[in-house]
Chains A and B, each alone.
Chain A
Amino acid sequence: MRRLSTDRIAHHSPAPPDGPLAAVAPVKGAQRLTAVDDEASRLGLVPGMALADARAMYPALAVVDADPRADADLLAAVADWCDRYTPLVGLDPPDGLVLDITGCTHLFGGEVALLSDMVRRLDKGGYAARVAIADTVGCAWASAHHGTSSIVPLGGIRAAILPLPPAALRLEAGVAEALAQAGLKRIADLIDLPRAALAARFGVALVRRLDQALGREDEPITPRLPPPTYVVEQPFAEPIGLERDVLGTLHRLAGRLGRVLEQHGDGARVLQAALFRTDGKVYRVRLGTSAPLRDAEAVTRLFGDRLAAIGEACDPGFGFDLVRLSALVAERQSEVQSSLAGPDGAAELAHLIDRLGARFGLDRVTVPVARDTHIPEYAVAAVPAHAAVSHAVVAAPVIEQDSRAPARPIRLFERPEAIEAIAEVPDGPPVRFRWRRVLHEIAATEGPERIAMEWWRDADGHALTRDYFRAETRAGMRVWLYREGLYGRETGSPRWFVHGLFG
């Protein structure tokens, strides 16, 4: 098991001024440096120094406010970009990344080639990085932050970390200072000391970090993105930018992915196309399908719809140099389905839902599913159609059918519209109402159907009971009205609303 890791990104300001640069943030009431560039570093400035001291040493120091969120975003973007090397990319905040490149190096021509490729590309993007490859995360971290050698050979961990300062072990604040006071200035000084004594004096964390660096204790990487089940990709020496080329590439990749899926008897439920732009930006286009899918034509068409819908948001810039297609979620696909000849309505429907979902978003293609409640607006939920199959079916509450007319309107306003209504008696049915500035005379009503708010939905206790009426105007229009609040008990002047329209 080869553990592998990390690089360090020097902070970059958005508009670089001349001369040494530092980012500052208020720490415990004082402005302190949080990051310095190469030039400032050569002048002896270090993070953690008070701004006043730094200014005293070098008055022309350019200073920008630290922006931890932007740093985090940048780190995430770089992590995205590093996805081209391995799917297992973990964040090491605030400024590091951990990559598990086990089994990936041969794709790039070995460790050395991978490392130089990565450094060269990062440098081209304007990011100075220190990179190290080692068997363990701890050792790679130590080498990247404090060491000189960028590739620690197999079994060379001990030799690599011996000359490094204890801070290279990723210690908590204060521990390194305490070790220095005790005269332990290099890892070599403490590596052979009795563990119990070390733990007792400097904390268990120190021993643990030592073990992790030496590979005695396993340290898993938490990948930022879930590693996909199936991946195919196509790198390009000359970047491609035309939509036609991208789709053509996706079609070829979909063909390859389909064959791999078929070998395993799987079909993709969630697909993702990642387009790596030459300048480091990565676009990820994700699609869900309503049934396991491995047909290259169908996959290409879905991505075609999706890309057409995204349009401007996916700017090829100077082109993409890597296109990757992955099946993030795969499911068993039974062979019987695909071998059945002739039109299969269910499969066609699933495909249509996928296409509509790919273009407009899967949450826009919905099926209404009944909920067990009498509150009209909660009685139905719009469940995405592609997930509806797996959705639990709840029996709808039975609505008393006391009329020849339908009991519920076919159209319901999300926000009931306030109306002026006049009833003969305050708690009786309305006789006329004014809605959208038009006066309607009511010819017949049915009701009331009294619906009280369910107590668990009503945290404030302010929701009023509603009396619903089905009303037909003289012109024949049928509306669903309600009076909010029981007259005399809940309110003195109940308000009226239109909640829906009947067919």
Chain B
Amino acid sequence: MPDPRRLDALRQTLAHLDAKAGRRQQPDVLPLGVATVDAALGGGLVFGTLHDIAAEAPAEMGAAAGFAAALAARAAARAIPSRPVLWIQQEVASFEAGGLYGPGFSAFGLPMGRLVVLRVMRTRDVLWAMEEALASGALAAVVAELVKNEADLTATRRLSLAAAEADTLALLLNHQVSPHASAAATRWRVCAHPGPRDAFGGLGLTAFTLSLVKNRHGPTGCWHIVWNHHERVFSAATSGGVVAAAFDRPDRTPLARSA
């Protein structure tokens, strides 16, 4: 006669394993809100994996940081219960491309009350902190900003493993395009795109050119997208089209592709 308590414990373990396996089969995703991009990604950016974002050129760091901030804002907005975003920055990064500016994040769709900033000296500190932060599961997103491309295959693999533990969006933000191989699920190159004008010729919503150069689960591609910081949603940009239309009817605008 087996011990009923032991049987019960075994059943619970099995259920736990099943749940884990089930989660792996149907991973949670963060859709960008642009049908074409989401289709290429298989629904959106997968939680539990690492995503690598690089600025196409040093001057494009604002755009790359903007894209990362937009993704973090989306992740933070859907996290229930509310969880903050940790942004890890090397000291030298603030000299290169400016320090993180809270009011700007608030204006960009990520309220600064949800932002925790960690400033460290060395690259290895950034990686250590990111690994710890991912393992804790207390955050909606972790953005680790690297000035030099020192995250090699080993480092990214470690980070991917740490990311798999929790449903945290893991973003690596590189100041320049990295020559290293990476274990990241997706790799993006970002540069700014001339944004749409408003009716009076002033600045409109923020626009990016995204190049998806690596995608483990689908095709790569290149898109122009616009970030609506009020609604926290991306939409496809029309080159030179009327902006208001693009932002009201994101899905119907034709996909602009460039080589």
Confirm or deny: A145 has a beta carbon within 8 angstroms of a beta carbon on chain B.
no
Residue of A nearest to B94 (CB): A414
Give per-residue flags for A374-418: 1 if the beta carbon is below 8 A from chain B beta carbons, else 0: 001001101001000000000010010001111111111110000
The A350-367 residues at the B interface (CB cut-off 8 A) are: 351-353, 355-356, 359-360, 364-367
Q: Given the interface contacts A412-B99, A503-B65, does A444 sit within 8 Å of B118 by beta carbon?
A: no
* B62/A410 in contact, CB under 8 A: yes
* A368/B117 in contact, CB under 8 A: yes
Residue of A443, A470, A501 most packed against chain B (CB within 10 A) = A501
* B195/A349 in contact, CB under 8 A: no
Residue in A359, A376, A382 whose CB lies within 8 Å of B128: A359
* A413/B204 in contact, CB under 8 A: no
Residue of A nearest to B129 (CB): A356
CA distance A160 to B206 in the complex (A): 85
* B113/A410 in contact, CB under 8 A: no
* B202/A446 in contact, CB under 8 A: yes
Confirm or deny: B194 has a beta carbon within 8 angstroms of a beta carbon on chain A.
yes
Residue in B108, B117, B120 whose CB lies within 8 Å of A382: B117
The A102-123 residues at the B interface (CB cut-off 8 A) are: none
* B115/A368 in contact, CB under 8 A: yes
Give per-residue flags for B132-156: 1 if the beta carbon is below 8 A from chain A beta carbons, else 0: 1100111100000000000000000
Confirm or deny: A269 has a beta carbon within 8 angstroms of a beta carbon on chain B.
no
Give per-residue flags for B197-228: 1 if the beta carbon is below 8 A from chain A beta carbons, else 0: 11001111111010000000000000000010
Size bracket of the B interface: 35 or more
Q: Given the interface contacts A359-B128, A404-B198, A476-B191, does A364 sit within 8 Å of B59 by beta carbon?
A: no
The B40-80 residues at the A interface (CB cut-off 8 A) are: 59-63, 65-67, 69-70
Q: Which residues on A sit within 8 Å (CB–CB) of B116? A: 353, 365-367, 385
Q: Given the interface contacts A356-B118, A360-B120, A476-B192, does A501 sit within 8 Å of B103 by beta carbon?
A: no
How many inter-chain residue pairs (CB < 8 Å) link A and B? 196
Residue in A360, A396, A403, A410 whose CB lies within 8 Å of B198: A403
Q: Which residues on B sit within 8 Å (CB–CB) of A408? A: 101, 103-104, 106-107
Q: Which residues on B sit within 8 Å (CB–CB) of A370? A: 102-103, 112
Confirm or deny: B245 has a beta carbon within 8 angstroms of a beta carbon on chain A.
no
Confirm or deny: B232 has a beta carbon within 8 angstroms of a beta carbon on chain A.
no
Confirm or deny: A475 has a beta carbon within 8 angstroms of a beta carbon on chain B.
yes
Q: Given the interface contacts A406-B229, A478-B206, does A367 sit within 8 Å of B113 by beta carbon?
A: yes
* A406/B136 in contact, CB under 8 A: no
CB distance from A374 to the nearest CB of B (A): 11
Confirm or deny: A474 has a beta carbon within 8 angstroms of a beta carbon on chain B.
yes
CA distance A409 to B105 in the complex (A): 8
Residue in A366, A399, A444, A501 whose CB lies within 8 Å of B197: A444
CA distance A407 to B203 in the complex (A): 10
Confirm or deny: A420 has a beta carbon within 8 angstroms of a beta carbon on chain B.
no
CB distance from A484 to the nearest CB of B (A): 18
Confirm or deny: B241 has a beta carbon within 8 angstroms of a beta carbon on chain A.
no
Confirm or deny: B119 has a beta carbon within 8 angstroms of a beta carbon on chain A.
yes
CA distance A380 to B112 in the complex (A): 10
Confirm or deny: B29 has a beta carbon within 8 angstroms of a beta carbon on chain A.
no
Confirm or deny: B98 has a beta carbon within 8 angstroms of a beta carbon on chain A.
yes
CB distance from B218 to the nearest CB of A (A): 26
* A410/B100 in contact, CB under 8 A: yes
* B101/A380 in contact, CB under 8 A: yes
Q: Which residues on B sit within 8 Å (CB–CB) of A345? A: 81-83, 138
Confirm or deny: A479 has a beta carbon within 8 angstroms of a beta carbon on chain B.
yes
* B59/A438 in contact, CB under 8 A: yes
Q: Given the interface contacts A353-B116, A356-B132, does A410 sit within 8 Å of B204 by beta carbon?
A: no
CA distance A380 to B204 in the complex (A): 25
Sampled A-B contacts (16; CB under 8 Å)? A349-B83, A365-B118, A368-B101, A399-B107, A406-B104, A408-B104, A412-B99, A444-B202, A446-B203, A472-B195, A475-B194, A476-B194, A477-B63, A478-B192, A500-B101, A502-B66
